[in-house]
Structure 1
C-alpha cells in the first residue's frame, strides 16, 4: 500500500512554485502550518508539526529551508524531505518559553541571504488565515527593515494542490479504503445504549488498525438533536431508537485526508427521518452522476438547489454540495453558487450533502476524483440507506 509521497515529487513542487514566483515577481515565499492546519508546510516538506508550528522558506532560486521551533529539530529531521532545517523562536509553542542561551535563526538572517540592496522586492506569505500574530509581525517587521512589500500568495499553491498527481490519488484511494473498512467494522458495534464517544473510540481503533497515520479530522458520531450540527464533537449521549445517528469517519494517510459520512437509524425508523435520508441519498447520487471535467462548478450548485427545492428541502441546506479534499479534509475549491471555475481532471472532492431539519440532520459524504467523462468514486459500499 502506497502511503508516502516520494522525494522527487517534493523537489518538483518547489521548482514548480519557483517558476510561478518568477512570473509574479516574488523573491521569497514563506508558508505557515501547525498541527491542525499543516498543509502548506507538509506539501513541500512532508513535515507535520506537533505542539510547535513550522514554516517553509522558499527563495525564487536555490534550496528551501524548513523553519521550526526550538524543540522540534530531531523530530523534524526524521520527517522532513527538506534537508536544511532552521530553528526560529517565532515557531515555539504557545506557552512561549524563552530558551535562554539557545542559538536561534532570525528572519533577518534569512532575508539577508536572498534580499540585496535593490528596490521592489516582494515577499509572499501563505497560510495567512491561521498564521499567528507573532509570526506575522516578525515577517512584516523584517520585510520593512529590508524595504520589501508583503503580499498574500496562497493562490499560487492552491492552484498546484488542486490537481493531484498519480501518487497523491493512489494514497487518497488507500486512505478512503481504510475509512470505508473502518466504517464497516464500526457499524457492527453500533447498538442502542452505546454512547457517541464509544462509537468514535471504535472508529479511532479501526483506522489505526488498518494503517492510518491518524484521523483526518476529529471524527464524530452524533445523534438526535446533536445531529443538527454541521460540525460537531461526540458526547456521552446514548444512542436511542427512533433518532437520527450521524457517523463521520476519516483516515489520514501520507498526509492525505479521506472521509465517509452516513446517516444511520435503528428500526423502526420514523417516517420524517427516513424521508430526509432518502432526499440526502438522492442528492448525493445526483451530484456524483453530474460531476465531470469541463463543467462549470456553479452549475453543479444550481442542480443541487433545484433538486432540494423540488423536494421541499431547500431550507435544509447549509452550504454547497462539494468541497475540495487533499492534505486537508476541507480545502479549496468549494462548489457554491458563485463558483466561476470549471472542474478539471484529477481534482478531488468530497461530495458533502448536509441537510438539517429542526430536530435532526444528516450528511452523506464521499470522496471522488474528477475524470474526463465523470468521476472515479472511491466509495465501493454503503450506497443505500443504513437501517439497523
Structure 2
C-alpha cells in the first residue's frame, strides 16, 4: 500500500500558463448541431426546443455560442433548415454573436418585468414558424431530466421549463408529443455534452483550465494572516470572463462551511486555521480547502493531529481515484477508489467523487455505489472530491478539471495543438515522478496544479505525495 509523505513541490505547480483562450467557431457549432440532428432522427424527434436562462444557459450555448446573459431564451432546432433563437429586448443585439446563419425572433415576454411588450408576438405562432408544426414530436430540453423513483409524475412528461412554454408547445404538437429530451444532452451514459469530440475542444478546455488555475495560485501566493477575505480577492487580478460558479475566499471554519457567502470584509485569516479558495471560468474550476499554515508547527493545535489521518488520507484517496480513471472505467470503480480509503470514522464524503463538467460546472455524475456507467472516450470531468468532519471542523478539497481521451483523440491533440499537448505530458510526468500517482495515459490534466495538494497553504513549496511502503 502506498503511504503519504511531504515532498518539495515541482516548479511546474507554481508556474502560471500564458495561453490565449480558444473560442469555438461556426464549423464547431455546425458539427454539434449535426450530431444533435442525427440523434433526433434516431429518436423520431421533429424539433428540439432548448430553453435557457442566465443560470441554465449551457445547453443553448453548446450549439451556437449564445448564452442568456439577461433573460430567458429558447433555441429551436428542426430536423432540417436553420435553427431559430427566441430572445427578449436585451438579447437581440447579443444574438449576433452566433457565427453561423440562424433565424431570430423577438418574444418580449422573455424581457425583464416592465419592459416594452408587443401584443402581436404570440409564442405559439413564433414556435410554429420555427418548425414546431401540429402533431410534431417535440423534444423539450431544460436543465434536468427526471427519474421515476424520485417523482410522482411521469418523467417523460415532467419538465423544468417555464409552464407557459410547455403549454404553448402542447397547444401546437399535442400533449403526448412534447417529451423531456434533456437526457440527449446530459444523460448517463450517452449525453452529447458529457464528452468532447475534437482536439480543439480539448485545447479550449486546457486554456480555460490555465486561466482558472492561474487565479487560484495568485490567491495562494498572496494569502497572509490578518488579511480579510475581500482583500485577498483583490489580489486575484481576474478579468471579466464569466464565472462557472461564484468565486470563493473563505477564512475559518464558519466561512468555509458557508462557502458561497464570500468574500467578506469582516473576516480575517488566522494563522493555522481552515481556509478555502475557489475560482473557475466557464469550462474549468480549481479549488483548494485546507489549513492556512506554514508548517506543522503553525497549524492550529486542534488540526495538527489530523495532518496525515485526515488531509493525508484524503490525498491518498484522491490519488487512487486518479489511478482508477481511464476510458471505460465504471462509476463504481471510481466510487470505491475513494470510499475504500475514506469510509471510516475520520471522513465523511457525501457527494459523488468526481463529475462531468463543461460550460456549467456540474453536468452529471456517474460515480456512485453500484454504478455500471462507464467513462466515455473524451469524458470532460471535474476531479471534485469533498471530505469534511466536525470537532474539530475540517474540510479537504483539491479540485481541478481533466479530460479522459483515448489514443485517437490524444494523437489529434498532438498534431493540431502541440504546445497544449506538451503541457499535458509535463503534468503527467509530475503526477508519476513527483506525486507518485500512476496516471493512465488517457487522463489529460488540464492545469499545472492538478492533484497538487498543499498541506500548508501558506507554503506552496510543499505538497503531499505517495510513496510505496
State the partner residue of 1:109.
126
Q: Sort the Cα spacing of 1:113 and 1:350 in 2 relative to 1 into closer, same or farther, 3 A.
A: closer
State the partner residue of 1:265.
292
Contact conserved, 2:384 with 2:398, CA < 8 A, in 1? yes
Find the aligned partners of 1:162 and 1:74 in 2 and give their Cα distance.
30
CA offset at residue 178 of structure 1? 1.3
TM-score, length basis structure 2 = 0.73
Find the aligned partners of 1:192 and 1:339 in 2 and give their Cα distance.
44
Deviates more, 1:36-45 or 1:99-108: 99-108
State the partner residue of 2:8.
none
State the partner residue of 2:192.
160
Find the aligned partners of 1:105 and 1:46 in 2 and give their Cα distance.
26
Contact conserved, 2:318 with 2:338, CA < 8 A, in 1? no
SS of alignment partner, residue 364 of structure 2:
strand
TM-score, length basis structure 1 = 0.87
SS of alignment partner, residue 403 of structure 2:
strand
State the partner residue of 2:227.
194
Deviates more, 1:67-76 or 1:227-236: 227-236
Contact conserved, 1:263 with 1:363, CA < 8 A, in 2? yes
CA offset at residue 285 of structure 1? 1.6
**Residue ranges of structure 2 left out of the alignment (5+ in a row):** 1-19, 146-157, 407-439, 459-469
Find the aligned partners of 1:3 and 1:290 in 2 and give their Cα distance.
30
Deviates more, 1:369-378 or 1:36-45: 369-378
Aligned residues, how many? 374
1:45 aligns with 2:64: yes
Q: Which fold has the larger relative contact order, with Cα–Cα distance below 8 Å and residues 6 or more apart in sequence?
A: 2
Q: Sort the Cα spacing of 1:246 and 1:271 in 2 relative to 1 into closer, same or farther, 3 A.
A: same
What's the CA shift string for 1:258-309, capped at 9, x where partnerless? Answer: 3343424223013145232222222222211210011111111022111102
State the partner residue of 1:385.
455
What's the CA shift string for 1:285-341, capped at 9, x where partnerless? Answer: 22112100111111110221111026x434x21212101111111112342224321
Q: Sort the Cα spacing of 1:62 and 1:83 in 2 relative to 1 into closer, same or farther, 3 A.
A: closer
CA offset at residue 197 of structure 1? 2.7
Find the aligned partners of 1:181 and 1:262 in 2 and give their Cα distance.
17
State the partner residue of 1:138.
165
Contact conserved, 1:221 with 1:233, CA < 8 A, in 2? no
SS of alignment partner, residue 387 of structure 2:
strand
What's the CA shift string for 1:58-116, capped at 9, x where partnerless? Answer: 112211111111232112223564532211134223xx225245764623232255355
SS of alignment partner, residue 257 of structure 1:
coil
CA offset at residue 383 of structure 1? 4.1
1:69 aligns with 2:126: no
**Residue ranges of structure 1 left out of the alignment (5+ in a row):** none
Q: How does 1:1-388 map to 2 (within 5 A)?
A: 1-79=20-98, 81-93=100-112, 96-97=113-114, 99-101=116-118, 104=121, 106-112=123-129, 114-116=131-133, 119=135, 121-129=136-144, 135-147=162-174, 149-158=177-186, 159-164=191-196, 165-203=198-236, 205-206=237-238, 208=239, 213-226=241-254, 229=257, 231-234=259-262, 235=264, 236-252=266-282, 256-267=283-294, 268-269=298-299, 270-275=303-308, 276-309=310-343, 312-314=345-347, 316-358=348-390, 359-372=393-406, 373=440, 374-381=442-449, 382-388=452-458
SS of alignment partner, residue 71 of structure 2:
coil
SS of alignment partner, residue 318 of structure 1:
coil
Q: Sort the Cα spacing of 1:58 and 1:222 in 2 relative to 1 into closer, same or farther, 3 A.
A: same
Contact conserved, 1:368 with 1:375, CA < 8 A, in 2? yes
Find the aligned partners of 2:126 and 2:81 in 1 and give their Cα distance.
16
Contact conserved, 1:66 with 1:82, CA < 8 A, in 2? no
SS of alignment partner, residue 235 of structure 2:
helix
CA offset at residue 2 of structure 1? 4.1
Contact conserved, 1:280 with 1:364, CA < 8 A, in 2? no
Find the aligned partners of 1:230 and 1:304 in 2 and give their Cα distance.
25
Contact conserved, 2:51 with 2:161, CA < 8 A, in 1? no
SS of alignment partner, residue 385 of structure 2:
strand
Q: Sort the Cα spacing of 1:227 and 1:287 in 2 relative to 1 into closer, same or farther, 3 A.
A: farther
